[in-house]
Amino acid sequence: MPTITVEIPASHSALRTNMAERSGVSTTERGTTAIADRLAQLRRDCGITQVEMARKLKTKQSLISRYESGELRIHAELLLKLSKILGVTPNDILGVNPKETKTNGKIPRRFLSRLKDVHTLSKRDQDTLAQTMDALITTARRKRADD
């Protein structure tokens, strides 16, 4: 089950324990680490570097690194910005009902995000792209068949 980090004051320890047991919500550092790991993986899947992510967020790369290491927790406003940049829902970053692709994860997200923009290419460029993909896929299939 995915984990979500929730801040509950120490004075409410009974509530903290009861909530975690009933809802499956983690109040430990594991939840923060799981979200940080997911964020880093989603960023890499989109083919975005920490520097590029920082530029899009108008911040420094070192902050992105701190979020991805779990050193800093992601606040709600940042969660919304990250989900927009990565093309996922906030729940995907949090690990709540992770979305499945129709291809069951066979196509990396970094390619899916690019494929969404193919329609912006001219017909000629689309044809060239299709021919290039066909040639690469044919070569890969032949190599697998030879092995």
Question: What pLDDT score does 137 carry?
Answer: 84
pLDDT at 109 exceeding the cut of 60: yes
* Residue that wins the pLDDT comparison between 140 and 77: 77
Q: For the segment 19-51, what is each residue's pLDDT rounded down to a tens digit?
A: 444 445 444 566 778 889 999 998 988 888 999
The answer to whether the CB of 92 falls within 8 A of the CB of 99 is yes
- Show Cβ contacts of residue 125 under 8 Å, excluding neighbours closer than 6 positions: none
The answer to whether the CB of 79 falls within 8 A of the CB of 90 is yes
Whole-prediction pTM value? 0.51
Average pLDDT over residues 5-28: 47
For the chain, domains (ranges, CATH) are 10-101 (1.10.260.40)
